Structure 1
Amino acid sequence: MSFIEGFGIGVAMIIFVGPVFFLLLNSSFQYGIKAGISVAIGIIVSDVICVALCYYGLSSFMTATQNQFWIGIIGSCILFVLGINYLFKKAILTKDLSVVSKKWSTFFIKGFSVNFFNPFVFVVWIGVFKYGQQKYEDTTSVSMFLIAVLAGILTTDLLKVFLSEKLKKFISEYRLSIFFKVTGVVLLIFSFRLAYLVW
């Protein structure tokens, strides 16, 4: 029962449209499915670390005002750089096979850093973790609940990647260029908003 509920919560998180959502789609559109999967793995690894921090009682460290400030500033800077990059990025539709392993690690790092250095991700995970502890008394059920939430998130992220790959045939370089500019503006808005909220 805990696994089913956790998986449902993980899938429901698809409604959160944040900077990682645009990063995931753009990577998939331009560089193909492997690039998108690399971003998705980076996101889920950062989520696993968030869960581990909650599990081992380090959530208070992450939610301390001073630490939240610096995490937020780092996250804001990352989003700002990515936003500027997308604003001026040239749209080139690349075949999936041309993405080398070095680039895969770059996409992984992007997915990881954008997600990990967003303090609101920690807030969400602390809420999910506390809910699991209150709902389920034994450690095994709580662990299964958290694993299921992670599985749900990974499933939805991979679905976004595969769906974007299907939509890729409708994407021209002109449309991709427009999408890049929109993404750049959105990431800059997230950057300024994050800096404002943690200031």
Structure 2
Amino acid sequence: MVKVFLKGLTTGLILQIAIGPIFFYLVNITLQKTLMDGLFAVFAVTIVDYLYILLAIAGVGKILEKEKTKEILGLVSSVILILFGLYMAISTANMINTDLTMISQSQTIFTSFISAFILTISSPLTIVFWTGVFAAKSIEYSFTKKQLLVFGLSAGLATLLFLGSSILVLTVFKTSIPLTVVRAANLVVGLVLILYGIIRAIKISRMVAASIISTPEKNECG
């Protein structure tokens, strides 16, 4: 079981290298607020990851692989990303005459946890991703159901280790980062979320359009 655990942890850490909008969002929280805010946000992301991992192992990913379901969930998550990005971009204007101490006091650790939780859980298609990972590893290593569970739990632990250590390192250098950089980071992260959401929405819209066009053709052939 130790080997299975290490394989899961290694796989999880490798997957963490693919840094996405969630990572930048957590960095932004840590820059604006406190170490505890950053860590609680990391806990929120880890909880959602574990939830999706367990659902993937339970086989829920197979249900979400249906094209119609993927399209709907994809569009919903894209809208949430765009809304989060807009909120962050707009909030940058409110930071112009505000120092970091006031920002930290105006919002609680609970707010940091909830915002990270909502942003992470807005991408349920992650279950499909984990389903693919587990299917591949299960075939590669001939895992039993119990071994697959251990593999999944250790892969999820990689989220906590990678993001947690990143937040800790960032906190060490935080004091030397000027407020102007924090404001710029807030704006950049907001724009990244908006851009990411728009790109995803466009891709999904094209998929929907393609499926609508192909449906009549199939009917004519039939």
TM-score norm. by structure 2 comes to 0.80
Residue 112 of structure 2 corresponds to residue 107 of structure 1: yes
| 105 and 68 in structure 1: CA distance in 2 versus 1, 3 angstrom threshold | farther
Q: CA deviation at 1:180?
A: 1.2
| 71 and 94 in structure 1: CA distance in 2 versus 1, 3 angstrom threshold | farther
Between the aligned partners of 2:57 and 2:195, the Cα distance in structure 1 is: 32
Partner residue, 2:63: 61
Report if aligned partners of 1:32, 1:95 keep a CA contact under 8 Å in 2. Answer: no
1:44 counterpart (40, 43, 46): 46
Q: How does 1:1-199 map to 2 (within 5 A)?
A: 1-89=3-91, 90-91=94-95, 92-94=99-101, 98=105, 103-134=108-139, 135-199=141-205
Q: CA deviation at 1:85?
A: 1.6
Q: Determine what percentage of the aligned residue pairs are the same residue.
A: 21
CA RMSD of aligned residues (A): 2.1
Report if aligned partners of 2:16, 2:158 keep a CA contact under 8 Å in 1. Answer: no
Instruction: Tell me the secondary structure at the aligned position of residue 175 of structure 2.
Output: helix
CA-to-partner distance for each residue in 1:9-60, whole Å, 9 max, x for gaps?
1111232121101111001111111111121111111111211221222112
| 118 and 97 in structure 1: CA distance in 2 versus 1, 3 angstrom threshold | closer
| 185 and 142 in structure 1: CA distance in 2 versus 1, 3 angstrom threshold | same
Between the aligned partners of 1:122 and 1:57, the Cα distance in structure 2 is: 9
Which stretch of the first structure deviates more once superposed, 124-133 or 15-24?
A: 124-133
What is the aligned length? 197
Between the aligned partners of 1:10 and 1:95, the Cα distance in structure 2 is: 37
User: Which 5+ residue runs of structure 1 have no aligned equivalent?
Assistant: none
Which stretch of the first structure deviates more once superposed, 136-145 or 25-34?
A: 136-145
Report if aligned partners of 1:31, 1:95 keep a CA contact under 8 Å in 2. Answer: no
CA-to-partner distance for each residue in 1:68-111, whole Å, 9 max, x for gaps?
222212211211111112212234423898477xx323222222
